[in-house]
Structure formats: structure tokens, C-alpha cells
Amino acid sequence: MEKVCAGSRALALLVAIIAAFATIPQVATVLLVLGGISSIANKPQDNIRVYLVATVFTVAAKNLGGFAVVGADLANIFGSVAIAATGAAAVSAVMAIVNMTRAAFAGAGQPAMTAAPAN
């Protein structure tokens, strides 16, 4: 499964770069699906990186448009990568909620916060 996720991640990056220079029908949907597939096998620590990448690339895409020569192309590439990362972040968040709910119903969940022992 990890190879499928890695392949999906690489394909999403390739599609994001190509989409900046060529017209691809339904590119946003393709990138969301590829991003979602790429995060299915993520560990919880990987999910934090996915959320960060989605946020940084979304902000960077808006700021890169101001550069004169390559700004528009870079903004398109960063925006497309942000779409794929948003798909990955959405799937990661849903998987985290499902895993927490499953653990809670199985009785394996620990309380999020515990009281400090009295001295």
C-alpha cells in the first residue's frame, strides 16, 4: 500500500507541474483524488506535515503571482500542489477521526487530558 501512496504522491506532483503549462480537464478533481490516495497509509506524525504543506502551499500560491517573469507559472504549480495537499489533509483528518472513534468504542482510548496527581 505504501508504494501505491508514494506513486500517487509522485503522480500528483507531475500533474501539478504539467497543469501549469497545459490544459487538463477536471485537474482539481484529479489532484484531490491523488492527494487523498497518497495519504491513506500515513502515520499520525506524517499527517502534521501534510496539514503544514497544504497551508504553506496555499499561502505561497497567492504570494507568487506578483513576480514578473515566472510568477504566474509558479503560482499555478504551487496552487495545484496545494489542491493535492488539501485532498491529502482531508483524508488524513477523516482517518484520524475514524481511528479515534474506533478506539473509543473498543475501550482502548485514553482520556485526552488527565488530572495531575495531588501532592
Looking at the whole model, is its pTM more than 0.85?
no
- 101 burial level (CB within 10 Å; 0-12, 13-18, 19+): exposed
* Residue ranges of domains in the chain: 2-106
pLDDT tens for residues 10-38? 999 999 999 999 999 999 999 999 999 99
H-helix segments, the chain = 2-19, 27-38, 44-64, 71-106
pLDDT tens for residues 37-96? 999 988 888 889 999 999 999 999 888 877 878 888 899 999 999 999 999 999 999 999
